[in-house]
Structure 1
């Protein structure tokens, strides 16, 4: 099979042999014969496949290996625009890098099959010569006069303009006095007003904006600015510059469904809403958006990581906002990191990419130091606002009262804040009421039957829920282990429990929770954000979604209930992630003229993360973290890959994992660790064993893994998932 890069826009004619890539997890493209209608590389076609039909994309000329007599003929070419050559190259690149089947990657690029068919026409009516013998009442005459004076109108619009009912219009259509005509659907998105003036920028913002607006061709810029420094307004200038050049723009956000304030900023700057792409869209909106991207009428798309695979014909800029965020990593199906793939997508399309963050990832900073990326720094908050003061509450010295979770210094700070008419926020990155429920008599813990995970109590929903597979059940009245009645106790806090305590301690405050299971979808999020911004909420209790760039002028105090939470476990990025998350959460405080304050409740006040946060010394922390990674031979100074072997039978999984271990590569600079039970040894009913592969950056890691897996392939129902550059280790 030839890549789409080899022969862009190549055409194939009757009886030619072509390779068609199907959106299925197959090893490669299948050969087909071209019928009477010619096709071109990138065309979407319908082909026969094992007694059914399937969509596919013409990927290039076929091979000579297949017997010509066994070739089946392409059934038809769909009327959709061809998949852009740059996207075809991107699919090939992602498949090769992640070791995923190319068809599995293609499926993300043609994720809306219904959008490949033309949209249904909008039927309207217009006047035509009045048939002989047609009886004209005053009402009918009024309808015909209205129709003659207007362009084609829908039947409902014509009836409304004429002041009559739909039945009169319908009768005139049946009588032949009006004829139906098909109208093209209106453009789903208005063009952004690129020449519209933005807000006044500070000197440092203006310098950064000018540098970004001038870039053309492939460049990678890190826009590194403290929280509240106006990074969004700065990269909006680069968006405007790309629009003025007639190019499309993609902006990736980690939590697109919760981006109400970002969308409001865009509307204020460019006068219209951008196209939005995320999992909450209706089917009709997804079809319209996919088509608008493909035909170029969607000038700006803001989306989640999957938006990288939309069919942009003329992509001129990619922005990855909050580039450090772990939500950009996809860990199911095709495992990829959207930040890194955005850089590849930009390189293939020869366009610039901007990575924006107040706490850049170590990988991005290493690329800056190596000279591969360029850095622009915004050191100050916008409009004179100052960074919040961060201090610690040592829980060893001032613990909360028994049965409570808020220490006295934090309670006192909240009381002062509320008394001054300001807002406060309590942060705990744990959903639900309690993370663990156990029997007080025998110690039995309620666990998910399908996963190696404790069931989390969600008291508001009246359910115990597994956060990994979604299994839900009610709290049993009898312990299944010792049969004690009503013996279960909730252990530890989730945000529901913190909100319960806050309501008890601050009875006059308006308390509200913000988490992914309490604020679902963009409309609910927008309404919640409005309530906070309009000071209809005094005390906000939230998980990590409250750290996503929100601007609440009256929010002056942030209390982190458990600052140590992310430091546990064997994750090599635990310290970096905790620093990033707590820095982002702290950045919600004092973003306007009122100064902010942050209190971190911790049992580890001497931990490097805590000391760096209090000192505001990000650079020293990052330097120390980088040195530890370099000494340990870990990313970004080496490479990692994970292999997860899974299956419904634990014995079969272990047997195959041992066979795989015996055939492991022995390449200089490459080390295979495992197999070992994955931390999540049972997930969704599948037993899991993990290999971790460490490699020097000079080792051809993908080639070594591909050769290894070819020697010892897995057979159903066993599966091997490959994760190049893993971010979590579950």
Structure 2
């Protein structure tokens, strides 16, 4: 067996460019057998003690004076060599510090590890057989109090009870238990407890569903592709076509082969549904990872994955880093979703990370969507991915019928309600039949803005250049970006007029209007306000699933993936809302949202209907979405991208400058742009710098510039050189931040 080198390569937990490199540390003899690649350690760094990750070993250090590793944080590695290689790839691709990429792979970040990785222990109490603590006649030696006697009696009937449960049942104190321990009458054992957020919900064991002929053919095609070429696969299946059952069959085969699987979902909102489906089929082999869990729940799931206790991971984008050392498959459900892109450092896209991870670990990758992103569908048609389609809903269930309502005509005919007359009629009809309805509006709050009708002033956040949203039935105005909140003023702060009026509609008002229309209906609301509390979305989801909700009102978190068999009506309150945002993907997102939310109707045995309310009934994007016609939409959109040179025909890098002083910010942005421009290759061009669409957030002004390029690899290097040269000349100044986003999805 080869002797392990005495020196470890360590990346320290300090996301500063000057220390974004490997440092060498000596491995003490006492830790030599335990430290491996992926180990988390504490090391001396200057006058500090920092956490670090062991990324390799060397026979000779780079410097003569080498410090020694202080301690090992955890008894086994939490990262594999493949994950460390993936972190290096991320740092290079997304232009971020290596330690930032490594931190993203761990629950909570490295700074939490020394204390945060300690598990939760539960104590169990048992009676001890009569021994040294008893007298000659089998009686206890010493006085036994009444509470101690109650403990003994309770444990006689309930051996091995949790200590907290036993003390609560008897009313005894810890001191009474301590006395019995000292007398040798009771013993206590400690066991680590796995905190499972879904452990309290007992799910019946579910059998495999019978596959349709189309599903059987698709499954064979997928398995053949993976066996021969192992190309990534795009499964383009209409809403309700049974993609989840395909995922399950592939995962079950991975389990048979001793391989692990990761299932990515775009939002926490989809997690309870998929966890229920997967746990009912696969039992305790499933772990859950997402930001809605407590720190302890995430820690326990992570450790059990690393130990190999669980083989299937379900979670949002960070689950792509789950420590599966024998990875066989990654599934990305709803591949098109914007939430797969992280907005803060490291600004990675889970799809690109999954592709690279599967390459490194020789695993298979499957993307599924009814409305694939334009880029993914293009590369599937070009052959980079294998395209496989599910054209029909399972059991030949029909697609929902869609009716477009022109809200201009509704106004002309005197209907000033937020619901068209058709939607009101359909809501009453569904309620009377005991069926469920879903109302979609991608705007939370009561009203979307408040304005003075005398001078036209729109009330805005004091810290952001954003209009305030009315909440709580018009009692308060809140900013959805920084949380700033004020009571609704009685007079205009600009001109003193009493003509303060509320405009627009949010989910809070929609829910209230439903209650007016259907006073006896049970109405639930799912948006950022109602689901902020831990477990709140799960309660809403299972309420709808059990039939305890008649009408569900929500934002985009209810627009995709969810499967409610009794939902037979979907109402899109304002189909125009996402169409005209100043972003290149505005039309694509509008098409995807409307198509996806329409697909929630009629997924069970009952047929579905969709009412699409719009002020632009002739818009081609809305018409394609109403027909669930992805092909027509794609043909128009890909031609627009081809003409403009936007992805997939080129790449975009966004550089966002932010600062408190607009003049200083503008000057620094222009100077840095000149440094970058001087380094760019001929296949790249700069757009800007110019004010960002959201010009001010949290008291910081924002300016952005875009780089369009046909050679992303070379342009990344050019950009780094330009930024380094600017930094060498003192730009940006101290209070100005520069954020680089490679292939951004959010341009706001």
SS where residue 576 of structure 1 aligns? Answer: helix
Q: Deviations over 1:147-168 (max 9, x none)?
A: 9999987656899999999877
Larger deviation, residues 396-405 vs 366-375: 396-405
Name the CA distance, whole Å, in 2 between partners of 1:576 and 1:689: 25
Query: Mean alpha-carbon deviation: is it higher for 427-436 or for 201-210?
Result: 201-210
Tell whether the 8 Å contact from 1:212 to 1:237 is kept in structure 2 after alignment.
Answer: no
1:507 CA drift (Å): 3.9
- Higher mean Cα deviation, 74-83 or 396-405? 396-405
Residue in 1 that maps onto 2:21: 29
Matched residue, 2:217: 207
Aligned: 1:442 with 2:455: yes
SS in 1 for 2:581: coil
Per-residue CA distance 1:613-671 (angstroms, 9 max, x = gap): 23332112111211110111110111111000112221221111111122213421101
State the alpha-carbon separation in 2 of the partners of residues 11 and 574 from structure 1.
55
**Greater CA drift, 28-37 or 638-647:** 28-37
Following superposition, the deviation at residue 104 of structure 1 comes to 1.2
| Cα separation, partners in 2 of 1:218 and 1:55, compared to 1, 3 Å | farther
Q: Contact 1:25–1:103 (CA<8 Å) still a contact in 2?
A: no
Cα distance change on mapping 1:723 and 1:477 into 2, 3 Å: same
Q: Tell me how many residue pairs correspond in the alignment.
A: 716
Partner deviation per Cα, 1:572-617 (whole Å, 9 max, x = no partner): 1111111110001101111122221212122222221122123332
Measured against aligned partners, the alpha-carbon deviations of 1:522-546 in whole angstroms (never above 9, x if no partner) come to 6322332333334433333221111
Q: Is the 8 A contact 1:263 1:273 kept in 2?
A: no
Please give the secondary structure, in 2, of the residue aligned with 1:537.
coil
Partner of 1:518: 530
- The Cα shift of 1:321 comes to 0.8
Q: SS at the partner of 2:107?
A: coil
CA contact (8 A) 1:80 1:117 kept: no
Q: How does 1:64-463 map to 2 (within 5 A)?
A: 67-69=63-65, 71-82=66-77, 83-112=79-108, 113-114=113-114, 117=117, 119=119, 122-123=122-123, 127=128, 130-131=131-132, 134=135, 136-137=138-139, 170-176=178-184, 182-183=190-191, 185=193, 197-212=207-222, 215=226, 218-272=230-284, 274-399=286-411, 401=414, 403-460=416-473, 462-463=475-476
- SS of the residue 2:410 aligns to: coil
Question: Which one is further off, 101-110 or 273-282?
Answer: 273-282
Give the Cα–Cα distance (whole angstroms) in 1 for the partners of residues 739 and 171 of structure 2: 64
What CA distance in whole angstroms lies between the structure 2 residues aligned with 1:122 and 1:574? 51
The answer to whether structure 1 residue 729 and structure 2 residue 747 are counterparts is: yes
Residues 24 and 61 of structure 2 are in contact (CA less than 8 Å); yes or no, is this contact kept in structure 1? no
Secondary structure of the 2:408 match is: coil
With over 3 angstroms needed to count, the CA separation of the structure-2 counterparts of 1:397 and 1:63, relative to structure 1, is: farther
- Give the deviation of 1:498 after TM superposition: 2.3
Q: Name the counterpart of 1:3.
A: none
Q: Report what 1:18 is aligned to.
A: 9
> Do the aligned residues in 1 keep the contact of 2:285 with 2:311 (CA within 8 Å)?
no
Secondary structure in 2 matching 1:335 = coil
Summarize the Cα distance change of 1:131–1:494 in structure 2 as closer, same or farther, 3 Å threshold: same
CA distance in 1, matches of 2:463, 2:645: 35
- Offset at residue 519 of structure 1 (A): 3.1
Contact 2:236 2:390 in 1 (8 A): yes
Does the aligned pair in 1 maintain the 2:582–2:693 contact within 8 Å?
no
**Offset, 1:375:** 2.1
* Stretches of structure 1 lacking an aligned partner (at least 5 in a row): 1-8
How much has 1:121 moved relative to structure 2?
5.3
Displacement of 1:678 after TM fit? Answer: 0.7
Question: Is the contact between residue 120 and residue 194 of structure 2 (CA under 8 Å) also seen in structure 1?
Answer: no
Question: Structure 1 pair 516/171, CA: closer, same or farther in 2 (3 Å)?
Answer: same
* Residues 445 and 506 in structure 2, CA contact (< 8 A), matched pair in contact too: yes
**Rounded Cα–Cα distance in structure 2 between residues aligned with 1:22 and 1:159:** 43
Distance 1:268 1:244 in 2: 17
Q: Which stretch shows the higher mean deviation, 612-621 or 352-361?
A: 612-621
Please, which runs of 5 or more residues in structure 2 have no aligned partner? none
Greater alpha carbon shift after TM alignment, 529-538 vs 385-394:
529-538
Q: TM-score, normalised by structure 1?
A: 0.89
Which moves more between the two structures, 55-64 or 514-523?
55-64
SS at match of 1:493: coil
Equivalent position of 1:559 in the other structure: 571
Q: What is the deviation of 1:131?
A: 2.5
**Which residue is 1:4 aligned to?**
none
* 1:466 and 2:479 are equivalent in the alignment: yes
Q: C-alpha deviations, 1:479-518, integer Å up to 9, x for none?
A: 2212234x32111111222233333334454433222212
1:91 to partner: Cα distance: 0.7
Report deviation, 1:144: 9.4
Counterpart secondary structure, 1:512 = strand
Question: Which range moves more in the overlay, 464-473 or 216-225?
Answer: 216-225
Once the 2 structures are TM-superposed, how far is the Cα of residue 178 of structure 1 from its aligned partner? 5.4
CA-CA distance at 1:102 after TM superposition? 0.9
CA RMSD of aligned residues (A): 3.4
Query: Aligned partners of 2:423 and 2:123: how far apart in 1?
Result: 63
- Give the deviation of 1:196 after TM superposition: 7.5
- Label 1:42 to 1:174 Cα distance change in 2 as closer, same or farther (>3 A): same
Structure 1 residues 620 and 471: alpha-carbon distance in aligned structure 2, compared to 1, 3 A threshold: same
TM-aligned CA distance change 1:53 to 1:441, over 3 Å: same
Query: Where does 1:595-606 land on structure 2 (aligned, <5 Å)?
Result: 595-606=607-618
